Each structure stands twice: as C-alpha cells, then as structure tokens.
Structure 1
Amino acid sequence: MIREHLIFRKAVPEDKPAVLAICAQIWEGDDYIPEVWDAWIADPYGQFSVVELDGKVVGLGKLTRLTPTEWWLEGLRVDPAYQGQGIGRFLHEQGVALANRLGKGVLRFATSSANHSVHRFAADTGFAHIGGYALFKGPASTSPTAFTPLPEGDLDIASRLLEGSERFQAAQRLFEDRWWTWQTLTRELLSRYAAQGQLLGWRRRGRRLSGLALVSDYPSEGRLIVHYADAPGDLLSDLARDLRHLAGERGLELVDWKVFDRPDTRAALEAAGYENTWENTLWVFERPIRPGAVDSE
C-alpha cells in the first residue's frame, strides 16, 4: 500500500518550490498558500506539514492555533498527479493526531458541502458537522448609513444582543475571524474589534442599539468583508441593506458576507439585494481534541 511509504513531517524552507508547484495546480493557480507561506512556516504554535513519497513532496496541510482551546485544520492539498491514492485521508488523520499532541479544546475545519470524500474523513475521525455557510455578495449603494463605530462603553449592550440572538446560538457562537476560518466570538474579541474601529453599532432612526456588524475594508479589491453581523428577527434584512450603504459610503464596490445558512437568513439577504454566489455551501466540522491520544481516533 502507498500509505506505508508516506512520510509526514514538518515543512522546512527548502520545501517551498515543491509546495508552490502543487499550489500552482490548485484553484486555477489562484491558491492563497503562496501568500501565507512565510507566516505558516514561522508559526510557533501550530505546524505547517508536508507529506513525502519516495523523497518527493506530494501533499501539505496546516494545523493552526486560533486560541489556546480552539484549533483549525486548513490548507490540505495533494499534488493532482497523486490524488485518489489515500494521501488526502492520510494528511487529515495526521493533522488530527498532531492536534492531539499539541493542543487541547476543540479542532475544526471547513470544506465544501460537495466534498463528499472529506465528509467521510470527518466522520471516520470523530468530527460532527455543526453548520454551513452560504456565500452572498451585495452591490454597494449610495444611501446614508446608520452604522457608527461602537464605543467601548456599549460592549455590554452588544454582548447582550448577541447572547439573546437565536441566530448566534444556532451558529455555535462562531464567526469568521479571518478568511475561511471560524472561531468563537468572545467578549475579548468584541473589545479588540471595537478598539480597531471594526465593531459597528446599528441604530435605526438614532434609537438604541438594534444590531451590530464586524467588518474589514479591502480597498484594493473593492470589498467590505463582513466577519459577523446580526439584528433581531426581521430587522436583519434592513441591517443587510444598510451594509450595502456602508460599502458605498466607504468607496467600495460590494459587500462580501459568508452567512450561517438558514432559510430565514437567506431570505433576509435576498430581500436586501444580495445574491448567493456559490451553488454549494461551506460546511464546518468540529471534534474534541484528545490530548495524549495515540492516533487520530
């Protein structure tokens, strides 16, 4: 079996040409891994790993520590010339085993709802599917916005709004902190976003806080990225529409938002002028880390 000849090890700087050659064949050459190579190879907490077969790098993957108790598997890639031989499963299992050695708490990852082989890996290694995210985009508009930076003094109100949100609870209290990575939205993170001016309060007609949004501007791409946004009940559609106004006010072209996939949320965004831009959804999986476990399961 090919598995007996696979070597899983930590990536080193000398692996870069081989890794980039694999990535050049992924996503039509638009893979993000070349951009994060330096950060991944220098990560002091997680591990950037490769798989060798007969001295050749044929796959790669990354274990990332998001917080001391939340870990993330990402960047699993297999050289197209070697796909279909169990290397992806081997990488996944080794990543789980590595998390058991290095971490504690929970381990998560995300993949397409259409990636059935990875769903099988997940089931076989004790992961549970905890939700999906739909990709929506909305064009910027020119109307005034009711969003303003949330002051530190309103963090308690914002926290109560989230705790009372059925959508937030259904999403397991997760949000997209960075691209394609979900973790728990804590009070500490709310405070950090507020200090950076990225936590915005939404007040309808100048009244009390009715909703909030965590956002980032990407001027070079013309996008307003929504890390998380929420408002009670039917107000979500109005908030979503106002995010389009915010993008226009900031000179951006569109709003880019991965929303927790529910019929009411989809309906709210569609009513606010957004379009679902991907036929699939992004599924998030989770399992407990078992420190000291000998293998992945």
Structure 2
Amino acid sequence: MGERLPVHIRPARENDTADMLEVTRQIWEGHDYVPLVWPGWLADPNGGLLVAEHQGRVIGLGKLSHLAGDDWWLQGLRVHPEFERHGVATQITEALVEEWQRNGSGTVRLATSSQRLPVHQLCERLGFVKVGEYSVFVAPAADEATPAFLPTSLDFRPLLDSESEEAAEFALNSPTLSLADGLMDLSWQWAPPHPALFQQAIQRQQAWWWHGRRGLLAIYIDQDDEDIEPPRPFIEVAACELNQLATLLLNFRRLAASLGYQKAGWNAALHPDLMPILEQAGFERVWEHALFVYSKS
C-alpha cells in the first residue's frame, strides 16, 4: 500500500452524483449497480451513505444498510482507480463501522470477491470474521422431463401475511440452514432468517410452504445481468429435512418454469455436504470464483 491519503469522510449529497458516476464508470466494464441504486441510497433514512472527499472531489463511497432486526450490511465500497491502495477504502470502512456502532447494534456483514485479497486483509484488520463462501449455481427450469417421482402438480402453498414469524422460526430450526451457513441470500446480501424478511417476500408473493408445510421456500428475481441473462428466480432460503432438499430443489425448478422463467438459480454456500445435493437436483456451478461473507458483532 502507498502512502495513506488524507480524505474527508462525510454524508453523501445529491450533488455528489457526477463524482459518483466517475468513480464507478470503469467498474464491471461500466455495469456497476451503484448508479441504479444511488437515488434510493440517498433517500434511505436508515444506515448511512458516506463519501471520501479529497481536494473538493469525491473519490470514494460506501453504504451502511439496515436489513432487519439487529442485522446490518456494508456495501458499495468504491474507490476511484487513481486513488486505490492509498488507504481510502480503509478510511471509508472504518467510518461506516463507526456509524454502525453509533446507531446500530447486533451484527454487520459484507461480501467481497474471493479474489480481493486487500479487502480480506482490511476485514481482518477491522475485526471481521469470514463466515461463509458462496458461488452461483444454475439449472434449467424444469419441463415435462422432470423425474417421475415428483408430484404431478406444484406442491407449494403461498405464505400468508400472518405467517412471517412462523416461517422465520421454521427456517431457523431447519437442518438445511446449516448448509447455507445460517444465512438467507437477500439478493447478494446475507442475513439470518427474520420475520421482517419473510414479510417482504410475502408481499412480493415469493414465499411458499412446501409439501404440506414440511418445507419452506422464498425466492427473489435476479435482474442484475439483464444485458447478459434474462431475469431468473434465485433462492433466498430453502428449508426442509436434509433428505428432502434435492426434491425441494427439483420442485423449485418446476416452480420457475410455471412462473415463465427459463432458468433457476441459487447463490449457494460452498458446503461439501451441499454439493452432491445440488448435482442431484441438476444445478451446475457457473462462476469459478466465490463471494466471501464477513461478519462483525
């Protein structure tokens, strides 16, 4: 790392938008999601959106978001390429952690690519612990070739508004949750099951009891790569007995087809006991790298 660059960390303002666009312009070949969510981040009354300013110019940013209960998420850590490796990301992250400590409690998490060694080192310096590794698994939406042992009709019943607490309790006690490192995937954000998260899924009409309430499924629609892939349903949480998980995943593929999608996905934990189940259900890993999730309490 080069010499630490002095920056002024402050809350973001609407007139920082032009600098934000310059900071993110080269990320993911111009397909960074931050410009899309920036207006919502500015308007978010919970958490904080901070920028790093140097000589009157915004050169970095980061976002603290409240997910549910005592669970918080750090995201959108960006530094302009001209100023990387000068401690700017460290100063932004330190400020976001301080913001969380002042205004929140419980646990704060973040995700980063398995290739981002400097971020891993930063997390360790700030007292974060790696709690999970995830990668992308995809299967075709099931068709008439679905195995004969599956029921002929979809075995799902939508969750009711009044069932969010029961669903969270069911998921927390499910043996399959350990295969996901105890976390739900909230569209590339991870947190433990909580009634508020199931309430959101119920309102989206994307949460179901399965197989006579012997299982539970919640999903979201992944639209981040619309220019490359059409939208696909991804699993938020799949809860059931371990010996029924492959069947639940096969039913999820049929559900995806019934909803009009061509593929179904899961940002699944790289747990050795989960890999053969995914293979049995027809899911293949489509990303050679992984996301590391770090946690601090």
TM interval, short-chain normalised: 0.7 to 0.9
Q: Cα 1:47–1:158, aligned 2, differ >3 Å: closer, same or farther? A: closer
Distance, in Å, in 2 between the alignment partners of 1:223 and 1:277 is 14
Offset, 1:102 = 2.3
1:193 is aligned, of 192, 201, 205, to 201
**One-letter code aligned to 1:106:** T
Look up the match of 1:30: 31
Look up the match of 1:128: 129
Is the 1:140–1:244 contact (alpha carbons within 8 Å) kept by the matching residues of 2?
Answer: yes
SS in 2 for 1:234: helix
Matching of residue 211 in structure 1 with residue 220 in structure 2: no
Matching of residue 256 in structure 1 with residue 291 in structure 2: no
Comparing 100-109 with 13-22, which one deviates more in the overlay?
100-109
Is the 1:50–1:60 contact (alpha carbons within 8 Å) kept by the matching residues of 2?
Answer: yes
Distance, in Å, in 2 between the alignment partners of 1:123 and 1:167 is 28
Look up the match of 2:296: 287
Look up the match of 2:66: 65
Look up the match of 1:116: 117
Comparing 26-35 with 126-135, which one deviates more in the overlay?
126-135
Is the 1:68–1:103 contact (alpha carbons within 8 Å) kept by the matching residues of 2?
Answer: no
Look up the match of 1:137: 138
Offset, 1:153 = 7.3
2:190 is aligned, of 171, 182, 185, to 182
Comparing 155-164 with 17-26, which one deviates more in the overlay?
155-164
Q: Cα 1:157–1:224, aligned 2, differ >3 Å: closer, same or farther? A: same
Is the 1:5–1:54 contact (alpha carbons within 8 Å) kept by the matching residues of 2?
Answer: no
Distance, in Å, in 1 between the alignment partners of 2:232 and 2:296 is 33
Offset, 1:103 = 1.8
Comparing 157-166 with 45-54, which one deviates more in the overlay?
157-166
Distance, in Å, in 2 between the alignment partners of 1:263 and 1:188 is 30
Offset, 1:274 = 1.2
* Post-superposition CA distance 1:136-190 (Å, at most 9, x none): 111112245323323467768755643442331464542123x211122123433
SS in 1 for 2:249: helix
Identical aligned residues as a percent: 33
Look up the match of 1:268: 277
Distance, in Å, in 1 between the alignment partners of 2:119 and 2:129 is 12
Q: Cα 1:231–1:156, aligned 2, differ >3 Å: closer, same or farther? A: same
Q: Give 5+ residue unaligned stretches, structure 2.
A: 145-152
1:167 is aligned, of 164, 168, 176, to 176
Matching of residue 278 in structure 1 with residue 287 in structure 2: yes
**One-letter code aligned to 1:17:** A
SS in 2 for 1:5: coil
Offset, 1:17 = 0.7
Offset, 1:134 = 2.0
Distance, in Å, in 2 between the alignment partners of 1:106 and 1:157 is 23
* Post-superposition CA distance 1:228-275 (Å, at most 9, x none): 113211321111112111111111111121122211212211221111
Offset, 1:4 = 5.2
Look up the match of 1:293: none
Distance, in Å, in 2 between the alignment partners of 1:123 and 1:113 is 14
Aligned length: 283
Q: Give 5+ residue unaligned stretches, structure 1.
A: 289-297
Matching of residue 235 in structure 1 with residue 239 in structure 2: no
Q: Cα 1:63–1:159, aligned 2, differ >3 Å: closer, same or farther? A: closer
Instruction: Quote the RMSD (CA, aligned, Å).
Output: 2.4
* Post-superposition CA distance 1:27-73 (Å, at most 9, x none): 11111111111111111121111112222211111111223522211
Q: Cα 1:201–1:81, aligned 2, differ >3 Å: closer, same or farther? A: same
